[in-house]
Amino acid sequence: MIPTNYDPRTSEEKWYQYWLEHRFFHSTVDKKRTPYCIVIPPPNVTGVLHMGHMLNNTIQDVLVRRARLLGKNACWVPGTDHASIATEAKVVAKLKSEGIEKRDLSRDEFLKHAWAWTEKHGGIILEQLKRLGASCDWDRTCFTMDEIRSASVIKVFIDLYNKGLIYKGVRMVNWDPSAKTAVSDEEVVYKEEHSKLYYLRYRIDGTEDEYITIATTRPETILGDSAVCVNPNDERFRHLAGKKCIVPLVNRVIPIIQDEYVDMEFGTGALKITPAHDINDYEIGYKHHLETIDIFNDDGTLNENAQLFVGKDRFVVRQEIIPELEKAGNLVKIEDYNNKVGYSERTNVVIEPKLSMQWFLKMKELAKPALDAVMNDDILLTPAKYKNTYRYWMENVKDWCISRQLWWGHQIPVYYLPNSNDYVVAENITEAVRLVKEKFGQDITAEQLRQDEDCLDTWFSSWLWPISVFNGILEPDNEDINYYYPTNDLVSGPDILFFWMARMIMAGYEYRHEKPFSNLYLTGIVRDKLHRKMSKSLGNSPDPIDLINQYGADGVRVGMLLCAPAGGDLLFDESLPEQGRNFTTKIWNAFRLVSNWKVADLEQPLHSKLALEWFEQYLNKCKETLNTQFEQYRISEALMTVYTGFRDEFSSWLLEIIKPGFEQPIDRTTYDKTIYLFEEMLQLLHPFMPFIT
């Protein structure tokens, strides 16, 4: 007896277990078959499933299940990312709750805690993806810090260093005072803020009452000023050329310099120069040989160089310095001012520009083939509107700051000689000892060498992902990499187009002389019906697992895809998975209806024959439409084609036309053909709704 209601929980658990037991998702090299391969954008080990993951992985699963139906050897490689900044922050917070400070631990002790945390939490999101129905080849699960991926990262660092593409230098970087590490330009999120513009006057040296007035949004940084700069074409300041002025409160005498960089229209036309704490000031300071005064500690508090407010946080000082400036007669006025402020994407604290010794990767040379590949459509971007964005970034690419002041991650394979800045770059300590003897002629022990404390940027491992998941760095001619690479489709969000996708393309051409994937499908951002980005902090994002529990995985998948145009943002509403669940019920009811018919050896009525012929023609046309939609990555439209086909044409028309009268049997010819067409419809629906089908 067929149950009246479809129970998603029972069905989903049963079928997923069945698929796993029979290893239907596992793929091995089979040169007689065409491979179809996707690598998962590896979610952070700190992560749990959110709405963006739901969308992204549903689309990937649709593509990979369709490839299987087309007879391809489909391989979807799963894995997770070690997420240096986010994971280290979680481990530090956990230790703090236990009364343990990171600074009281050795690196090895801290890493034991980090690995324990990762082993406990790292697989949660992959298990949640199984609830969604993700048909990954779980036997191939990778982790960016597992043995193969780690060795691959180290090998690539050494290779790029030996090619002269990696160098060490003091540069202005984006400093995250919470994580106490440098972050790349792409990890800075700019937010429009209501700020204040403070007008401060600096007394001209050697005078009693002559001043030059500057405007700044960061009055605390005046304690690190090295100069005041004016435009040489500005008549207002021509008489001050060659003179000096005095920094308020600390009474440091600094030069008044001239440079055409200064915008005569902004503020007062005079610009304070703080080379240690602003990238543009740094460039001017370098050009004019100015002193660099770093007034901040790594945590954003003021250091001894500031002379005042030592040990206090930069934002506390911003408030406390204003009354002092007013008392000293240096505050002219304060105005409201809107400006963009950079925040760390990982910790959401305000970024502090900071001069720091870091490791960098030269990008210009690597970017050229990666730019060409997208511009000539060797790699297709969907939607194509992102091509211009991609081109702009690649043509203006800056050297990548690849070092991070963290312990959780791939430790930089650089070994320093005792009491020296000399170093060697080596895969391990044994190799380092050998290189020291070869390069410097010194016989020293492993204990005498000191490895660089920093670790590599997380993206420095994930940019190798399509190659390293098949061990293509360590064994570049192995069977898997030669068969599955380049992969077919990559599905991801446009927010990491430069972080990850552009860099993967660079790595692909550098290490395989070939693109890493053929098609790049960029999803939109999941927003609520008020057009706000869904986030935990706003409280407008439902828990995906709760949605699956309520509406079933098939219902949620349909709900996500119904509002998911390629590259367009999704306006998600909980009525959508409810619509998906209702459609699941419609399929079930159609199944119950057909299954309960009694079959007899009767002559087929003409109306049934004509209806079935009509529907078969309709179905063939439907398949052609689907093929075109999939080729163009119009996934939402593809779902709508088969959704309306089942709901309107199959269920509402065909079944109504052919169903027998009350308590009457149906003829066998009509029944068999109906079952055949029903199965055809279920196959078309399967990539979208794998469980009920």
**Range 204-223 average pLDDT:** 95
Q: Is the pLDDT of residue 378 over 80?
A: yes
Q: Is the pLDDT of residue 572 over 90?
A: no
Say what the pLDDT of residue 562 is: 86
CA atoms in the 13 A half-sphere facing the CB of 54 = 31
Maximum distance among all Cα pairs of the chain, rounded to whole angstroms: 115
Note if the bond before 577 is cis, omega within 30 degrees.
no
Give 326-363 pLDDT, tens digit per residue.
Answer: 999 999 999 999 999 999 987 889 999 988 889 999 99
Residue owning tokens 């180290």: 154
CB of 563 closer than 8 Å to CB of 635: no
Say what the pLDDT of residue 6 is: 92
Confidence at 97, pLDDT banded by 50, 70, 90: very high
Confidence at 134, pLDDT banded by 50, 70, 90: very high
Instruction: Measure the CA–CA gap between 357 and 354, rounded to whole angstroms.
Output: 10
Give 166-193 pLDDT, tens digit per residue.
Answer: 999 988 889 999 989 998 877 888 999 9
Q: Is the pLDDT of residue 624 over 80?
A: yes
Q: Is the pLDDT of residue 567 over 70?
A: no
Q: Is the pLDDT of residue 288 over 70?
A: yes
Q: Is the pLDDT of residue 210 over 70?
A: yes
Domain boundaries, the chain: 8-158+458-523, 185-344, 574-685
Give 517-527 pLDDT, tens digit per residue.
Answer: 999 999 988 88
Cβ contacts of 116 within 8 Å, gap of 6 or more: none
How far is Cα of residue 493 from the mean position of the Cα atoms in its chain?
Answer: 7
What are the DSSP E strand ranges found in 27-157?
35-39, 73-77, 79-80, 142-143
Of 314, 276, 89, 83, nearest to 173 by C-alpha is 276
DSSP conformation class of 654? I
User: Strands 331-344, 270-273: parallel, antiparallel or unpaired by DSSP?
Assistant: unpaired
Of 24, 240, 144, nearest to 468 by C-alpha is 144
CATH class of residue range 185-344:
alpha beta
Instruction: Measure the CA–CA gap between 10 and 136, rounded to whole angstroms.
Output: 21
CB of 521 closer than 8 Å to CB of 566: yes
CATH class of residue range 574-685:
mainly alpha
Say what the pLDDT of residue 114 is: 95
Cα distance from N-terminal residue to C-terminal residue, the chain: 19
Same fold, 8-158+458-523 and 574-685: no
Instruction: Measure the CA–CA gap between 506 and 492, rounded to whole angstroms.
Output: 17
Say what the pLDDT of residue 95 is: 94
Of 37, 9, 41, 8, nearest to 458 by C-alpha is 41
The CATH number of 8-158+458-523 is 3.40.50.620
> Which range (229-243, 280-294, 421-435, 531-545) has the least confidence?
531-545
**Range 222-242 average pLDDT:** 95
Confidence at 662, pLDDT banded by 50, 70, 90: confident
Of 123, 117, 100, 105, nearest to 48 by C-alpha is 123
User: CA of 385: how far to CAs of 288, 370, 501, 637, in Å?
Assistant: 42, 17, 16, 19
Which of 120-124, 143-147, 170-174, 382-386: highest mean pLDDT?
143-147
**Range 266-278 average pLDDT:** 93
635-644 helix and 51-69 helix, angle to the nearest 10 degrees: 70
**Range 557-579 average pLDDT:** 84
CB of 130 closer than 8 Å to CB of 18: no
Give 481-535 pLDDT, tens digit per residue.
Answer: 999 999 999 999 888 899 899 999 999 999 999 999 999 999 988 888 788 877 6
Give 36-76 pLDDT, tens digit per residue.
Answer: 999 999 999 988 888 889 999 999 999 999 999 999 999 99
Say what the pLDDT of residue 536 is: 60
Of 631, 633, 644, 632, nearest to 684 by C-alpha is 644
Cβ contacts of 14 within 8 Å, gap of 6 or more: none
Confidence at 364, pLDDT banded by 50, 70, 90: very high
Say what the pLDDT of residue 355 is: 86
CB atoms inside a 10 Å sphere around CB 391: 13
Q: Is the pLDDT of residue 537 over 70?
A: no
**Range 675-681 average pLDDT:** 97
How high is the mean pLDDT of the chain?
Answer: 94
Confidence at 279, pLDDT banded by 50, 70, 90: confident
Instruction: Measure the CA–CA gap between 591 and 595, rounded to whole angstroms.
Output: 6
Give 416-450 pLDDT, tens digit per residue.
Answer: 999 888 999 999 999 999 999 999 999 999 999 99
**Range 242-264 average pLDDT:** 95
What string of H, E and C letters represents the secondary structure of 56-75? HHHHHHHHHHHHHHCCCEEE
Say what the pLDDT of residue 195 is: 93
For a pLDDT cut of 70, what percent of the chain falls above it?
Answer: 99
**Counting every residue, how long is the chain?**
693
